[in-house]
A = this chain, B = another copy of it.
Amino acid sequence: MRDVYIIGTGQTPVGEHWHLGLRELGALAIRDALADARIERAEALYVGNMLSGCVNGQENLATLLADSAGLLPAEAWKVEAACASGGAAVRAAALAVAAGAYDLAVAVGVEKMTDGVSGTVSAGLATASDQDYEASHGFSFTALSALMMRRYMHETNWEREDFAPFAVTAHKNAAGNEHAMFRDPISAEDFNRSPVVASPISVLDAAPICDGAAAVVLCSKEVIAAHHEPVRIAASASATDTIALGARDDILTLGSAAVSASRCYDAAGLSSDDIDLFEAHDAFTIITALSLEACGFAQRGEAVRLAQDGCLEPGGRIPISTCGGLKARGHPVGASGTYQIVEATLQLRGRAGTNQVPQARRALTQSIGGHGSVAVTHILEV
């Protein structure tokens, strides 16, 4: 496999973009990434998106974006892996460059959730679970996550209030990110008092519904120019687990996250000790905890202690979601995995502004879909 590098990043602010549709959001991020790489065009575009069929009535989405971004007649297809779609699109682009099919490729993640009329988005998100045995019986995505959190609390004796630092840190980090949706800090008390969605999950355990797009330009070694600040994809892996939560022996092990992280560590010859920052899939506080454990940053049941001890804050042992994460930067689902790669790249380039992790050399990013039924993990390195 050829080495693959990131030489351009682009992103729109995350928020409620009532005046922009999928075509505009995607094109803005793509053109932003190409401009950052000082490149006019690319011959291949891989689009991460989950909900354009359900919510926006738009499939053939990759063609739409190749068209709106001025990339015709580029190769273009959409990659869907539920909420891990953005990570999977980056992996698809990386495989195309690694194979030698292209020297330059663009991956973009885009989601426009605010187009959804009442109930459409919740129903759309539930399509990440098993439609026959979960969603059609009335389980929402949040309700299934709540079962995991309840079980975690039962096994570990952590209380819901103990999860507060995950959300508090995410909002604190987002304050320094001009593209983040929620830039106001929250307190532990805010967290504790926030309205329950599906007990024990409250509003402030959960990432918001929103719109956004993020893109990266990938290339082979030959394309790198003096003005680029290349970040190498040191490892990339994807894995799956049962789609239905009830089919697992243990709902507190994110198998897909553990397997894909382990494959990345093996491929790069690294361990969790070598990682300087972790862009985690913090869609719910419970998922943050479980993914920290799956990636080897904490023993089973101990991730909450990392949060309690301040290890996840900038300057801590393993800073997570340094630009606000899904929780506070926002979670336009099919775009989030690409935002993670953009943010990790900015960190490794030393361009993360007030959120900069000093001397960051290696970042782990992990994009999770379903209830850990699919995960895409990358290690980036400078």
CB distance from A375 to the nearest CB of B (A): 9
**B99–A57 CB distance below 8 A:** no
Which B residues lie within 8 Å of A126 (CB)? 57
Known: A54-B53, A72-B240. A129 touches B60 (CB 8 A): yes
**A73–B370 CB distance below 8 A:** no
CB distance from A265 to the nearest CB of B (A): 15
**B58–A127 CB distance below 8 A:** yes
Question: From A247, which residue of chain B is reached at the shortest CB distance?
Answer: B67
**A243–B60 CB distance below 8 A:** yes
Q: Which stretch (A78-86, A270-278, A321-329) binds chain B? A: A78-86
Question: From A60, which residue of chain B is reached at the shortest CB distance?
Answer: B82
**A369–B63 CB distance below 8 A:** yes
Q: How far apart sit A131 and B98, CA to CA, in the bound complex (Å)?
A: 34
Question: From A88, which residue of chain B is reached at the shortest CB distance?
Answer: B77
So how many copies of this chain end up in the complex? 2
**A82–B67 CB distance below 8 A:** no
Report if A128 contacts B (CB, 8 A): yes
**B128–A74 CB distance below 8 A:** no
**B74–A21 CB distance below 8 A:** no
Q: How far apart sit A62 and B78, CA to CA, in the bound complex (Å)?
A: 13
Question: From A239, which residue of chain B is reached at the shortest CB distance?
Answer: B73
**B54–A255 CB distance below 8 A:** no
**B80–A78 CB distance below 8 A:** yes
Known: A78-B80, A259-B73. A240 touches B59 (CB 8 A): no
Known: A51-B53, A54-B53, A76-B238. A64 touches B243 (CB 8 A): yes
CB distance from A59 to the nearest CB of B (A): 4
CB distance from A143 to the nearest CB of B (A): 16
Contact mask for chain A residues 226-261; partner B; CB cutoff 8 A; 1 contact, 0 none: 000000000001111111100100000001100100
Report if A135 contacts B (CB, 8 A): yes
Report if A117 contacts B (CB, 8 A): no
- With A59-B128, A62-B81, A78-B80 known, 14 other A-B pairs at CB within 8 A are A54-B59, A57-B127, A58-B131, A60-B81, A60-B374, A61-B80, A62-B374, A63-B370, A63-B373, A67-B247, A75-B239, A77-B79, A77-B81, A99-B100
The interface of chain A, by Cβ under 8 A from chain B, is 1-2, 21, 23, 50-54, 56-64, 66-67, 71-82, 85, 88, 92, 95-96, 98-101, 123-124, 126-132, 135-136, 237-244, 247, 255-256, 259, 369-370, 373-374
28 A-B pairs within 8 Å (CB atoms) are namely A2-B99, A51-B53, A53-B59, A53-B127, A54-B54, A57-B126, A57-B136, A58-B131, A60-B81, A60-B82, A60-B370, A61-B80, A62-B374, A64-B130, A66-B240, A67-B243, A67-B244, A72-B242, A73-B259, A75-B238, A75-B239, A75-B240, A76-B240, A77-B374, A79-B79, A95-B96, A95-B101, A98-B100
